[in-house]
Amino acid sequence: MCKDAVYWVWLNELRGLSLKTKRKLLEIFENPRELFYANLDTITDVLAKNSRLAASVKEPAYVSVWARRNLEYAESVLKNHEKYAIHLLSPTDEHYHHIYACDQKAPLVLYYRGKLSDPSIPVVGVIGSRSCTPYGELVTKAAVADLVEKGNIIASGLSFGIDALAHQATLNSQGVTYAFVPSGLHKAQPASHAALMEQILDTGAVITPYAFGKEALPFRFIGRNQILSSRCDSLLVVEARAKSGSMNTARSALQKGKRVLAVPNSLLEVKSSGTNQLLAEGAQPYLNDRLHLDNCSDVRSTVDPDEAAIMKVLHGCPLTTSEIEALIPDRSRSVMESLANLEFANKIIFRCDGRWHLVGGL
């Protein structure tokens, strides 16, 4: 167990002091144990050079927080962590000190289950839409296989869609993957990925900034995204809507000076509106010369009924999007999604007459 673990958990979970104040106090007291046993007058004295912080610590709310401090909650957290084989990373740990030092918004501690590899091994994040397209599936599988072959660890968020696919593709390639989650490690998040989480733990790790029992509330997804972007050396965004968690993660990584790659896609594909936008915001295009349409059979082994119906009606004559929608009223997905998939597969083309044409047709 980490030295002074109970004091790290205490300070990390302590309400009433901002993260900025906690970090400043740690710079002065060096470790949380020394801080725990310091009285308020001592703290005020050492903060005297920073009048704003010194004044805030004298406020009644802080006086009350300090008077009631105890280790009970931290001890209960560690007791549950021991039961579930959950480990703690503090700023003194080789796996976390560089993240903590470079990111002023990084929490005081992280929690993890599983195994952490040598911290010198590059970590590449692979993230994207929760409801990915066949194109997204194809690119994710190809990208992950390539990255694992080159010796990278693959990180993602254990969510549905691209995240889960990235983890599974890594495991299928006998690689190591890290899953970052927006809750405590008392259960999988989402619950339906419990089996996948256990597979990841065999060779990799599941990591979170949240203590045992913390549920996946909306604001915690943002905290998860921040840590994921900090830990990754590079980040690949496969598909993302303009307003999405993946975009939040990507922009966070760009702000931190990380290398961010985005997969280009059709401007008609809503699920890639965000990735296309990232290319305009400073991300690099992801290009893989090993990815060919001839190798798509593993992803598109069955004919999509919506796309087959579109191909059928276009055999008669070129049609506008609205005409196709009227001719195919019973669909499992949007017409635009199916059209984008067919366009990428080079089966149809949108021409200047405002109609969709079969490739090779008039």
Please give the pLDDT value at position 300: 43
Domain segments of the chain as ranges: 5-83, 112-294, 302-358
Kindly report the CATH class assigned to 302-358.
mainly alpha
Same fold, 112-294 and 302-358: no
CATH assignment of 112-294, given 3.30.420.40, 3.40.50.450, 3.40.50.700, 3.40.50.360? 3.40.50.450
SS3 content of the chain, % helix, strand, coil (to 5): 50, 10, 40
- Whether the ω angle into residue 190 lies within 30 degrees of 0, i.e. cis, is yes
Check: CB of residue 240 under 8 Å from CB of residue 129. Answer: yes
Q: Which residue has the tokens 């597969």?
A: 345
Neighbours of 323 (CB within 10 A): 14
Q: Whole-model pTM?
A: 0.77
Please give the pLDDT value at position 46: 66
> Which residues are bridge partners to 235 per DSSP?
125, 260
Give mean pLDDT in consecutive 10-residue pieces for the chain, a chain of 362 residues: 87 89 86 90 69 58 80 95 95 93 93 95 94 89 93 95 94 96 94 93 97 93 94 94 92 92 87 90 81 43 76 87 89 79 75 80 48
Closest CA to 253 of 233, 267, 272, 239: 233
- CA–CA dist 121, 172 (Å, integer): 19
Please give the pLDDT value at position 56: 59
